């Protein structure tokens, strides 16, 4: 039977792959500007999911700017397990009990920086389909160990610009959602300085929702790259490094305990190394 959604799935998966390629190229170009020998480069590995599909895991370690950064792309499909079905049903996704098939594609990025003054960052955008409904989700948030208010303002201005091009309601709504979502309850604090987050976006206009998701992805490099380059030139001390490593511990706690994408990836059988790519290479706890 022909899948009436096939062309939309293909367009979305291609877009996420293209965005992945652009970001990888931009990050390697940034490494080139800091190189005094051999610049950092991504190692690219295919990933597979036993039930169907796979993707690309692209990780750079030990660069001049990036201590560890992953830019992953995936396109997966299959049948949701019982736990995932219950989670989807709890979110109001229709039809899970009758037909638990799914398809998903997206890009997921986390960067941990060499310089403690350069902020860590997360970004992802994705499309999810079930026979009952499809939707988009994603966002980006900044996670500095040492905060600069002007960096926070720049990052949020770029996120606002992406949102305002589609709806004046999106930025305040999705900023508030990020503030709530990226909060670490057991520490009583946010994991960073926020950004935007949205999920289950289905306004009834697939083209409009896809266009917005593309805008969010396209806003990432202008929002982050200038901060990464400028702060990576800032001198730092061992005390700065200590602050960075302790902040990374907070980031790891959040991703392992609360992050929805981490839980979904592990529960649906995706490559564990790709799912846990977000974890920092070194972290500390007091």
The domain spanning residue 153 has which CATH number?
Answer: 3.40.1500.10
Residue 284 lies inside a defined structural domain of this protein: no
**122 part of the active site:** yes
Residue 147 lies inside a defined structural domain of this protein: yes
Residue 168 lies inside a defined structural domain of this protein: yes
CA distance 278 to 66: 13
Of these residues, 112, 117, 122, 247, which one is catalytic?
122
Of 22 and 52, more confident: 22
pLDDT on residue 96: 61
Residue 1 lies inside a defined structural domain of this protein: no
Tally of structural domains, the chain: 1
Residue 150 lies inside a defined structural domain of this protein: yes
Lowest mean pLDDT among 68-72, 98-102, 121-125, 225-229: 98-102
Ranges of H-type helices in 71-205: 82-90, 149-164, 170-181
User: What's the domain range around 135?
Assistant: 6-278
Residue 91 lies inside a defined structural domain of this protein: yes
pTM above 0.95, yes or no: no
Contacts 24+ apart (CB under 8 A), 261-265: 261/108, 261/124, 263/87, 264/84, 264/87
pLDDT on residue 35: 82
């Amino acid at each position: 039977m022909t899948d009436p959604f096939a062309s939309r799935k293909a367009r979305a998966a291609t877009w996420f792959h293209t965005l992945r390629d652009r970001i990888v190229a931009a990050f390697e170009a940034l490494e080139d500007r800091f190189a005094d020998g051999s610049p950092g480069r991504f190692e690219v590995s295919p990933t597979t999911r036993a039930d169907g599909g796979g993707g690309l895991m692209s990780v750079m370690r030990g660069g001049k700017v990036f201590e560890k950064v992953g830019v992953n792309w995936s396109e997966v499909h299959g049948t949701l397990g019982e736990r995932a079905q219950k989670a989807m049903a709890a979110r109001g996704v229709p039809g899970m009990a009758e037909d638990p098939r799914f398809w998903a594609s997206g890009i997921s990025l986390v960067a941990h920086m060499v310089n403690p003054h350069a902020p860590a960052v997360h970004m992802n955008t994705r499309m999810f389909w079930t026979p009952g409904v499809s939707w988009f989700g994603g966002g980006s948030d900044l996670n500095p160990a040492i905060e600069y208010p002007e960096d926070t303002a720049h990052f949020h201005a770029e996120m606002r610009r992406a949102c305002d091009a589609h709806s004046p309601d999106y930025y305040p709504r999705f900023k508030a959602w990020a503030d709530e979502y990226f909060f670490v309850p057991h520490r009583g604090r946010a994991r960073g300085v926020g950004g935007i987050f949205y999920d289950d976006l289905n306004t009834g206009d697939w083209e409009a929702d896809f266009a917005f998701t593309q805008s969010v992805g396209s806003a990432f490099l202008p929002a982050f790259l200038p901060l990464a380059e400028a702060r990576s030139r800032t001198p730092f001390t061992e005390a700065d490094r200590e602050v960075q490593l302790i902040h990374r511990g907070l980031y790891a706690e959040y991703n392992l305990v609360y992050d929805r994408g981490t839980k979904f990836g592990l529960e649906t059988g995706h490559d564990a190394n790709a799912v846990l790519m977000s974890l920092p290479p070194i972290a500390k706890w007091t």
